Structure 1
Amino acid sequence: MSESTSTERGIGAGRRRLLRGAAAGTLGAAGLAAASDHPAYAADRDAPAPDGAASVSVAVLLYDGFTALDAVGPYEVLCRVPGVRVTTVARKAGPVRTDTGELALVAERAMGDVTRADVLLVPGGGNRGTVAMMEDADAHRWIRRVHRHSTWTTSVCTGSLILGSAGLLRGLPATTYWASRPYLEKVGAVYTPGRFVETGKIITAAGVSAGIDMGLYLASRLSDEKVAQAMQLAVEYDPDPPYDTGSPEKADAETQALALKLLADSAR
């Protein structure tokens, strides 16, 4: 083993010990106490937590052609919030390919086996994946079924177009990926600017990375602001990008066109 590899492994192990210690200490007692007072803190009706312990259930819907960070960003924030259990769900359990076709995430459970969740999260996807889900009546029925009992129903990026196609956004303010804003009206929603938009129990996030912002907000609602702030530090979410072209309002037409081309060229 090289010296550099040994050092890297040592750093990784030290980081894991630090995070475990923080979770068991500072985050643990305060977070669980706060979450237990929240109305969303209820047992997962489909899969009770071990020893009967209560937990907030979060279901992340995966489908062929979804965008990885849309799902993984909120997951990374929420999966470590005390009392929260995140489960990935798809048409059937097993690996599900992302929009590039080069990465797969594993769905733990099939849609037919999950009827309720405290939080439903629908990620966006590439054009192929989003359009297919906008036309998927079976997925729409499942989304509506879970939504009836959810405390929050959420989306990231073009996931709002899927929620809209399921009939959940009629007349409601919502946001989506910048290039997909015109389509929100076609699914009955009212485009509203913002990194995420909350209307009642529905929260829609803008494109891709905005799911992390929404995840932190959800962390505060599922627990408290201290836990959410600690999770922001835990994932070191402190954006300071080298460029300032992160929204269409800040990017010229040439940059916008190139961005969409890069996405289209990488799609499978």
Structure 2
Amino acid sequence: MKQTQLPLEIGMLLYPGLTLLDLFGPQTVFSWFANTHLVWKTNDPIVSDTGISVHPTATFETCPRELDILFVPGGFGQQKIMNDSEVLGFLADRASRSRYVTSVCSGSLLLGAAGLLKGYKATSHWSAREGLRMYGAEPVEARVVVDRNRVTGGGVTAGIDFGLVVLAKLRGDDAAKLTQLAMEYDPEPPFNAGSPAAAGPEIVEQAMSFMAAEMEKHTG
């Protein structure tokens, strides 16, 4: 498919303790059609919640002011920046001029903390979704929620679905279908345990305990 449009300009927030797949699922979807700016306060490497480092390509000052997509991932380190005025100020500033203001997983809570989801329907990781109410958002149980120019994805793997939805809006269905095929995104999970309802209470309890322990490691 021949591209005749300018590349999309995408600002993707980095922060210590982010979840890599929240970031790289959507980034992989967008990559053929976009200039991606991985943004943090400095150019120093950012260590993810699994210990893998990512290098920022822009700072809050050098990130383009006009973006097609402003994106925030989730992660166990997200709690540490929920009251960070520099982070929230950056998000509010770029959101005011972005075509789409977006997130995956608990990144939606950061959008909420920046005042960007009040009066909007949104989703998040199943364990964090109800927390959106604190920021005036209406939680929705779905893989991807679109409300005007706010697009939010559910937990982690939902970032690929999210990316395809946003790409279709900006570059058309064929671009999204081409990308889905190129990625061979045709999931057949080996277990039916991808939601609390499917996994059952015992697995949910174990998952909550595991995530609480991981959160403590990153915030303690």
Where does residue 53 of structure 2 map in the other structure?
Answer: 104
Could you tell me how far apart the structure 1 residues matched to 2:96 and 2:166 are? Answer: 19
Shift of 1:261: 3.1
Where does residue 258 of structure 1 map in the other structure?
Answer: 206
Shift of 1:264: 4.1
> Partner amino acid for 2:62?
D
Instruction: Please tell me whether residue 235 in structure 1 is matched to residue 183 in structure 2.
Output: yes
Deviation string 1:102-152 (CA, Å, 9 cap, x unpaired) is: 1111111111212331111100111xx221221111111110110111000
Instruction: Please tell me whether residue 61 in structure 1 is matched to residue 13 in structure 2.
Output: yes
Could you tell me how far apart the structure 2 residues matched to 1:212 and 1:142 are? Answer: 25
Could you tell me how far apart the structure 1 residues matched to 2:213 and 2:66 are? Answer: 37
Could you tell me how far apart the structure 2 residues matched to 1:171 and 1:221 are? Answer: 22
SS of residue in 2 equivalent to 1:154: strand
Could you tell me how far apart the structure 1 residues matched to 2:123 and 2:12 are? Answer: 19
CA contact (8 A) 2:112 2:135 kept: yes
For 1:45-194, list aligned pairs within 5 A. 54-81=6-33, 84-100=34-50, 102-114=51-63, 115-126=65-76, 129-194=77-142
> Partner amino acid for 2:48?
T
Which segments of 5 or more consecutive residues in structure 2 lack a partner in the other structure?
A: none
For 1:4-23, list aligned pairs within 5 A. none
Shift of 1:262: 3.2
CA contact (8 A) 1:65 1:97 kept: yes
CA contact (8 A) 1:94 1:108 kept: no
Could you tell me how far apart the structure 1 residues matched to 2:213 and 2:53 are? Answer: 19
* Structure 2 length-normalised TM: 0.93
What is the number of equivalent residue pairs in this alignment? Answer: 215
CA contact (8 A) 1:156 1:206 kept: yes
Q: Which moved more, 1:208-217 or 1:251-260?
A: 251-260
Question: How much identity, in percent, do the aligned residues show?
Answer: 34
SS of residue in 1 equivalent to 2:156: coil
> Partner amino acid for 1:155?
S
SS of residue in 2 equivalent to 1:107: coil
Q: Which structure is larger by alpha-carbon Rg, 1 or 2?
A: 1
Could you tell me how far apart the structure 2 residues matched to 1:156 and 1:96 are? Answer: 18
For 1:191-230, list aligned pairs within 5 A. 191-230=139-178
* Structure 1 length-normalised TM: 0.77
Shift of 1:265: 4.4
Which segments of 5 or more consecutive residues in structure 1 lack a partner in the other structure?
A: 1-26, 37-53
CA contact (8 A) 1:116 1:145 kept: no
Deviation string 1:235-267 (CA, Å, 9 cap, x unpaired) is: 111110010110112121110122233334455
Shift of 1:71: 0.3
Whose helix proportion is higher, 1 or 2? 1
TM-align CA RMSD: 1.4
